[in-house]
């Protein structure tokens, strides 16, 4: 299987001399057990008073105990801020910053999935303090991006900036042990979408496409086994998510993500929405037929496709406001194109 390489070899060769920049976290530490180095990394950054942002569910898991023990073992004081609700907003960021200021924290730690990392990065940027991201799911790649997706007045807004990049990304596959199979599958499809969309983005380059290809293969070959609890496959998926995060930080996303956001606003989890619409976006863009078929197969085998609710035209209007993703897309998209894509997906998902 190849990633749409036919007819692109000459163009890519010409791009080898093209100027580009690569945005990366300040430091990446990957491997099983590395979360127990958190205290060491905190000290290296000059932190001695940390606010750990996580989920309420994490309060009952051993992972949080590992994190706190690592911090305290190196003399770092800590306070835990458990998020309420699945979709943190800009108001949540305000709550975090208020607690951090009150406790005089000079370091923020994000321990959780993409939304936890996003809200933590934004809060740290507003406070002007250092930040360490430790993902507990393999999908968003937020530990490696300079972006933060937050609800603002009920709508998802993507913030971007160098101050949102993690100072340290601690990617520990052991943290995936408690992820439910359905969440593992949906998150993995988000990573796969980051890889494929970053590959075809107008902002892509040869180095990004190399990471994208590797991430795609890792997800494609390991997602089903990882969702079934295979530890080795989970390690591969964690690496794929990290690589795909690098890809999306440097090339962005395209039509597949644009189509997913209105569905998420209607209550569909982001990974599930992306998984549902990505195959249609790939086919619309004329992407490699084998890749599109493989994505269809994964979505079908994992049983994570969603039904398309809402009015197709209203959803399409919302998509057309997403200039960020549509400008990255390799093919021009019209309102009628989007309506047709939603209508087709609705027919085939019923």
Last residue of a domain, one of 151, 176, 201: 176
DSSP 72-127: HHTT-EEEEEEE-SSS-BHHHHHHHHHHHHHHT--EEEEEESHHHHHHHHHHHHHH
Which residues does residue 168 pair with via DSSP β-bridges, in sequence order? 132
Q: pLDDT tens-digit profile of 165-184?
A: 999 999 999 999 889 999 99
| 251 in any annotated domain | yes
Q: pLDDT tens-digit profile of 97-144?
A: 999 999 999 999 999 999 999 999 999 999 999 999 999 999 999 999
| 26 in any annotated domain | no
User: Does the structure show a pLDDT above 80 at 162?
Assistant: yes
One domain, residues 172 and 187: no
One domain, residues 135 and 168: yes
- Domain that residue 288 falls in: 9-19+181-349
Last residue of a domain, one of 149, 176, 203: 176
Last residue of a domain, one of 145, 176, 207: 176
pLDDT at 258: 97
User: Does the structure show a pLDDT above 50 at 10?
Assistant: no
pTM (two decimals): 0.92
One domain, residues 232 and 167: no
Q: How far is CA 334 from CA 45, 85, 123, 339, in A?
A: 47, 35, 36, 9
**Mean pLDDT, rounded, for 2-27:** 62
User: Does the structure show a pLDDT above 50 at 5?
Assistant: no
């Amino acid at each position: 299987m190849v990633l749409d390489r036919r007819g692109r070899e000459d163009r890519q060769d010409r791009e080898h001399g093209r100027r580009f920049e690569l945005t990366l976290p300040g430091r990446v530490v990957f491997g099983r057990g590395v979360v127990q180095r958190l205290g060491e990394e905190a000290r290296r950054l000059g932190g001695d008073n940390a606010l750990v942002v996580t989920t309420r569910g994490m309060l009952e898991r051993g992972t949080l105990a590992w994190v706190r023990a690592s911090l305290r073992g190196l003399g770092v004081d800590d306070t835990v801020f458990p998020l309420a609700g699945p979709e943190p907003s800009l108001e949540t960021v305000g709550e975090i910053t208020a607690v951090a200021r009150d406790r005089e924290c000079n370091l923020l730690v994000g321990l959780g999935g993409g939304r936890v990392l996003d809200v933590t990065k934004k809060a740290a940027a507003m406070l002007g303090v250092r930040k360490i991201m430790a993902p507990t799911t393999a999908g968003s790649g937020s530990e490696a991006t300079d972006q933060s997706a937050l609800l603002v007045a009920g709508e998802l807004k993507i913030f971007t900036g160098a101050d949102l990049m993690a100072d340290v990304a601690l990617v520990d596959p052991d943290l995936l042990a408690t992820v439910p199979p359905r969440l593992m599958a949906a998150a993995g499809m988000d990573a796969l979408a980051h890889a494929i969309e970053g590959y075809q983005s107008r902002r892509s380059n040869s180095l990004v496409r190399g990471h994208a290809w590797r991430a795609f293969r890792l997800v494609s070959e390991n997602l089903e086994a990882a969702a079934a609890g295979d530890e080795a496959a989970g390690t591969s998926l964690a690496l794929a998510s990290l690589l795909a995060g690098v890809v999306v930080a440097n090339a962005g996303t395209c039509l597949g993500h644009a189509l997913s956001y209105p569905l998420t606003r209607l209550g569909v989890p982001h990974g599930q929405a992306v998984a549902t619409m990505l195959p249609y976006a790939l086919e619309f863009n004329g992407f490699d037929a084998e890749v599109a078929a493989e994505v269809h197969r994964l979505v079908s085998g994992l049983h994570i496709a969603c039904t398309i609710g809402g009015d197709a035209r209203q959803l399409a209007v919302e998509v057309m406001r997403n200039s960020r993703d549509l400008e990255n897309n390799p093919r021009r998209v019209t309102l009628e194109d989007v309506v047709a894509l939603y209508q087709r997906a609705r027919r085939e998902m019923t």
